[in-house]
A and B are shown apart, each in its own frame.
Chain A
Amino acid sequence: MATAWTAIASTTVGSGGAATVTFSSIPQTYKNLIIKVSARNARTDVVAELRWTVNGNSTSYSNRLIQGNGSTVSGGTTATTLFYSGEINASTSTASIFGSADIYIPDYTGGNYKNVSADTVSENNAASAYATLTNGLWSNTAAITSIAFYYGGLNWEQYSTFTLFGTNNS
């Protein structure tokens, strides 16, 4: 059996933070992509949205979500200009806590539209902690060659990590 998981690239944000974390020139030799995120954003709030786009494109996205925050459960849709993958910790949440996300991108080189999913949490040992399941669609048949994580120009904080894996089907 072939090894199914291969680490393609990993970024750890350095001192001063980074407004965007990008995986570019993604090899087209895998079948699916998985991204593991441990991140915290400089937004002045408890949480920030984990937002990302592919191929530098900001059109033709749709997202569905189900989310719990410790007191209520909600569901719905979000923006059409990006993938929304839940809420991660931001600058006013308890220090040293980073949000976690597990993102799955199947058949990223295929000729269909691209459907992605993510499980994301922002624990806080206080109010305003979130668990979010999302499912996004990019209505574009292009192969995914780059991925960029950003939050409106606000930095991902130091020690945030983003790791991209490729998986094979054989």
Chain B
Amino acid sequence: MAAGSTYEAIATQTLASTANSITFSSIPGTYTDLVIVAIGQGYTSPSYGNLQIQFNGDSGTNYSSTEFRENGGTVGTNRRSTQSNLFVSSFLDWGTANQNVGHSIINIFNYANTTTYKSTISRGNIPPYRTELNTGLWRSTAAITSINVSVNDTPINIGSIFTLYGIKAA
């Protein structure tokens, strides 16, 4: 029996200029899970900001997350409750001329169901600053049809790449 494709690229956005956010819209409900891979950097001076997302344009305080991180040799954890967006990882801020980039991998589970709240697991990789594993929750039973991605303290730099993948059940 021929197997169908189970991991597909739904959409990619490569920034041709700096942008305050990017949006994946009209996400088909035909997959079981979603994965976003974000590669790039913010626009401001060397440090890192928060990569954050909103589902379906919801700006209510319906998001929470738990951060597990290593930062400069120190390990720690942080909670964010009752937030108006979902922290998924830190994101490198580096400016215009540096070739250093970080990447985040965001897994969004059972996104199309209309019964349960939606959860995420994400990995943040922010050289030379941090390594992270984070969890997130959107307290909504709505199916996810759009995802807005931004960084809290900076525009996203030119050349950054955001890809949305869909995973299908066998």
Residue positions of A touching B, CB distance < 8 A: 1-5, 31-32, 62, 64-66, 73-77, 104, 106-107, 111-113, 115-117, 119, 133-137, 139, 141, 167-170
Given A75-B70, A106-B103, 7 more A-B residue pairs with CB atoms under 8 Å apart are A1-B8, A64-B70, A65-B131, A73-B75, A104-B105, A115-B103, A117-B125
Q: Are B99 and A2 in contact (CB under 8 A)?
A: no
Chain B: number of interface residues, binned into ranges: 35 or more
B46 at the interface (CB under 8 A from A): no
State the main secondary structure of chain A at its contact with B: strand
Q: Are A64 and B123 in contact (CB under 8 A)?
A: no
Closest to A134 in B: B131
Q: Are A141 and B99 in contact (CB under 8 A)?
A: yes
A106-B103, A112-B100 in contact; A32/B37 too (CB < 8 A)? yes
Q: How many residue-residue contacts, CB under 8 A, span A and B? A: 108
B163 at the interface (CB under 8 A from A): yes
A133 proximity list for chain B (CB < 8 A) = 70, 123, 131-133
Q: Are A112 and B9 in contact (CB under 8 A)?
A: no
B37 proximity list for chain A (CB < 8 A) = 32, 106
Residue positions of B touching A, CB distance < 8 A: 5, 7-10, 12, 37, 39, 68-71, 73-75, 99-103, 105, 123, 125-133, 159, 161, 163, 165-166
Name the one of A5, A66, A116, A168 contacting B70, with C-beta atoms under 8 angstroms: A66
B101 proximity list for chain A (CB < 8 A) = 107, 112-113, 115
A77 proximity list for chain B (CB < 8 A) = 73, 128
Q: Are B131 and A135 in contact (CB under 8 A)?
A: yes
Q: Are B100 and A107 in contact (CB under 8 A)?
A: no
Residue among A5, A106, A134, A141 with max Cβ neighbours from chain B (10 Å): A106
CA distance A119 to B124 in the complex (A): 12
A111 proximity list for chain B (CB < 8 A) = 99
Q: Are A170 and B12 in contact (CB under 8 A)?
A: yes
Q: Are A64 and B9 in contact (CB under 8 A)?
A: no
Closest to B130 in A: A64
For the complex formed, measure the closest distance between the CB of B46 and the CB atoms of chain A, giving whole angstroms: 14
Q: Are A66 and B161 in contact (CB under 8 A)?
A: no
Q: Are B103 and A117 in contact (CB under 8 A)?
A: yes
Q: Are B69 and A62 in contact (CB under 8 A)?
A: no
For the complex formed, measure the closest distance between the CB of A74 and the CB atoms of chain B, giving whole angstroms: 7
